[in-house]
Amino acid sequence: MKIIDNKAILLRSRNPERIANLIPRSKALSDNRVLVRWGLQEVNILNNLGIKAPSPIKGQYTWTGQYKPFAHQIETAAFFTMNRRSFCFSEMGTGKTGSAIWASDYLLSQKIIKRVLIICPLSIMESAWKDDMFKFAMHRRVEVAYGSKQKRLDVLSLNTEYVIINYDGIEIVFDEIDKGGFDLIIVDEATHYKNPSTARWKVLNRLLKPNTWLWLMTGTPAAQSPIDAFGLIKLVAPKTIPRFMNSFKDLLMVKISQFKWIPKHNASEKVFELLQPAIRHSKEECLDLPEMVYVKRDVELSRQQAKYYKALKEKLVIQAAGEEVTAKNAAIAMSKLLQIALGATYTDSKEVLEFDITYRYKVLREVIDESSKKVLIFAPFKNVINLIAGKLTKDGITNEIISGEVSASKRTDIFRKFQNTDTPQVLVIQPQAAAHGVTLTAANTIVWWGPTSSLEIYAQANARVHRAGQDHKCTVVQLRGSPVEKHVYALLDNRINLHEKIIDLYNEILA
């Protein structure tokens, strides 16, 4: 097969007349060659005949927007156009959003679809999706449906080509969305739909008509267990799996005790077979992306911190000797040790006790001064975040705080300023408040003031800078000043979930 131009392909066939009859506006030539119109309908017919043909987006589409697509983004966009219902499991930061926007824009331009609904977390509706729409398809009209029911209805009534909405917002205006002509639904961070017994899943499933396009995007389709894939498969390819969860569980898991199931030896392979059609690119495959470097910096605890850290550890040793250690009290104990090491904790009377963080802050300033671009600082505790931000402000370093207490609209404004203006220079972030979806490529340095307990959040947070649009090598700096921090970072570096090792880690720290 040879591409002739943007509108036709030339292929060889043992029966050119048959293909000419099957494909509209095709032309049988004098030998065994056929010239056919190059569109999605024709390509699908050829593929069904066993003749491999590329998506027409590769030759017919002008890649719009501010950025030239990477090779893997073109491949992903082509995949989307060829698969009405499908998965994209590419790693974070590989440009899934851009690929989906380009692919949907192509389908709109060909009048294959009329309207697109984007479903995503509340925190990234504007800062990720709406902003990226402007970057990749600024000629399209897009609105965010958020707020009161009436505000959402007003947005839907505008009949824009793209509407962005959060997961639980759909149920509020379901009837209007259902009648809104959305024939392509894109779901970002689709793991939120892993459980088909939830109201959220059922609402989305009710939206799906036989001809609805559905693209589910997530880097972790079965992060905790193979059965996490059940709800996703049931949306994309329901006929390929058992109807009920228990039967699906029996297919992939084996029961070893009354309350414990473990994956069968072939569970991963079986899930891979069922999660189709799918495409995935790892960062290692995306050679156009800059590298990310991980650096550890040891910091000294102040005399005050060392004193309280030692006293608490001794108290925990005494408690551990007389009581059974559970995951819950081990986690609480380690959290208190971390709070002391990072600079602030609560007293028994719920007052905030701040510690001298001179040494750790000095190293932080060194990292900020060395960075060639802006800096993200991740800190797991609210009181610590306020402490860091106050010191930065005092030193004349412009900064903003991103935490669970900051509203979604304010976060969006902060992210936009950070990406597009000179200030702020630094964001001080509670990891779970900005770990998913947000692009912060104005920075190329991440500083972990202290570790998070979640492997997924750690990986997602680091990906905020290592994404399409980044033009510098990226550095992740771990500040370590106590045994508990070093142990937790070691687990994260080895991609071990802290929650699985919490009691072992507790015993190691107290040894």
Same domain, 273 and 311: no
Strand partners, 215: 86, 186
- CATH code, domain carrying 151: 3.40.50.10810
Residue 291 has pLDDT above 80, yes or no: no
Among 434, 366, 432, residue whose Cα is nearest residue 400: 434
In the chain, how many domains are there? 3
Q: From edge to edge, which strands make up the β-sheet containing 85-88?
A: 142-145, 162-166, 116-120, 184-188, 213-217, 85-88, 278-279
Tell which wins on pLDDT, 482 or 284: 482
- Report the share of the chain in percent with pLDDT over 70: 88
Name the percent of the chain lying above pLDDT 90: 48
Could you tell me the pLDDT band of residue 219, with boundaries at 50, 70 and 90?
confident
Same domain for 249 and 102: yes
How many angstroms separate the CA atoms of 339 and 435, rounded?
A: 21
Whether residue 473 sits in one domain with residue 357: yes
Looking at the structure, tell me whether residues 173 and 122 fall in a common domain. yes
The pair of three-digit structure tokens given for residue 190, joined into one six-digit string? 């689709």
Residue 297 domain-assigned?
yes
Residue 322 has pLDDT above 70, yes or no: no
Residues 21 and 135 grouped into a single domain: no
Give the pLDDT of residue 82: 94
Task: Report how far apart, in Å, the C-alpha atoms of 127 and of each of 131, 134, 286, 417 are.
Answer: 6, 11, 24, 10
Any domain includes 61: no
More confident residue, 117 or 192: 117
Q: Which two tokens stand for residue 439?
A: 């692009």
Closest CA to 120 of 97, 98, 150: 97
Report residue 3's pLDDT band, with 50, 70 and 90 as the boundaries: very low
Residue 181 class from Cβ within 10 Å (0-12 exposed, 13-18 middle, 19+ buried)? exposed
Q: Average pLDDT, stretch 274-279? A: 94
- pLDDT at residue 334 in the model: 85
Q: Same domain for 257 and 303?
A: no
> Are residues 84 and 130 both part of a single domain?
yes
Tell me, yes or no, whether 150 and 262 share the same domain. Answer: yes
**What are the φ and ψ backbone dihedral angles of 390, each rounded to 5 degrees?**
-65, -40
Cα–Cα–Cα angle for 427, 432, 438, nearest 5°?
60
Regarding whether 362 and 257 lie in a shared domain, the answer is no
pLDDT number for residue 509: 76
- On whether both 380 and 470 belong to a single domain, the answer is yes
Which one is predicted more confidently, 399 or 471? 399
Residue 64 lies in a domain: no
Q: Looking at residue 261, what is its pLDDT?
A: 85
- pLDDT above 90 (res 59): no
For 75, the domain range is: 71-279
CATH number of the domain that 362 lies in? 3.40.50.300
What's residue 372's pLDDT? 78
Last residue of a domain, one of 27, 54, 81: 54
What would the mean pLDDT of 148-153 be, rounded to a whole number? 96
Alpha helices, H only, 49-197 = 57-60, 71-82, 96-109, 131-136, 149-157, 169-172, 174-178
Tens of pLDDT, residue by residue over 152-191, are 999 999 999 999 999 999 999 999 999 999 999 999 989 8
pLDDT recorded at residue 313: 86
What's the Cα-to-Cα distance from 286 to each of 49, 87, 95, rounded to whole Å? 32, 18, 10
**Low-confidence winner among 11-25, 201-215, 496-510 (lowest mean pLDDT):** 11-25
Instruction: Specify if 286 maps to a domain.
Output: no
pLDDT at position 40 is 84
**Average of per-residue pLDDT across 216-232:** 85
Q: Which two tokens stand for residue 470?
A: 């980044």
Of 468 and 145, more confident: 145
> What's the whole-number average pLDDT of the chain?
86
Domain for residue 63, yes or no?
A: no
What's the mean pLDDT in 125-132? 84
Residue 450 or residue 126, greater confidence: 450
> Does position 147 have pLDDT exceeding 70, yes or no?
yes
Half-sphere exposure in the Cβ direction for 360 (13 Å, CA):
30
Instruction: Verify that 275 and 373 share a domain, yes or no.
Output: no
pLDDT for 497: 73
Q: Which residue has the higher pLDDT, 453 or 208?
A: 208
Cβ-based neighbour number of residue 386 at 10 Å: 18
pLDDT greater than 90 at residue 100: yes
The amino acid that residue 157 corresponds to is S
Binned at pLDDT 50, 70 and 90, residue 4 comes out as: very low
Kindly state whether residues 219 and 123 are assigned to the same domain. yes
pLDDT value for 20: 58
Residue 15 lies in a domain: yes
Q: Which range has highest mean pLDDT (209-213, 319-323, 349-353)?
A: 209-213
Question: What would the mean pLDDT of 333-359 be, rounded to a whole number?
Answer: 85
Identify the pLDDT of residue 285: 79
Q: Is residue 284 part of a domain?
A: no
Residue 376 contacts residue 464 (beta carbons within 8 Å): yes
Give the C-alpha separation, 198 to 234, whole Å: 13
Classify residue 59: in a domain, yes or no: no
Question: Which domain-ending residue is among 249, 279, 309?
Answer: 279
CB neighbours of residue 246 within 10 Å: 10
Locate 308 and state its tokens.
Answer: 């309280």
State the amino acid at position 127 in one-letter form. S
Give pTM, 2 decimals: 0.68
- Region 435-447: mean pLDDT is 87
pLDDT at 91 (0 to 100): 79
Higher pLDDT: 32 or 374? It is: 374
* pLDDT tens by residue, 460-485: 899 899 888 888 878 899 999 898 99
The answer on pLDDT for 23 being more than 70 is: no
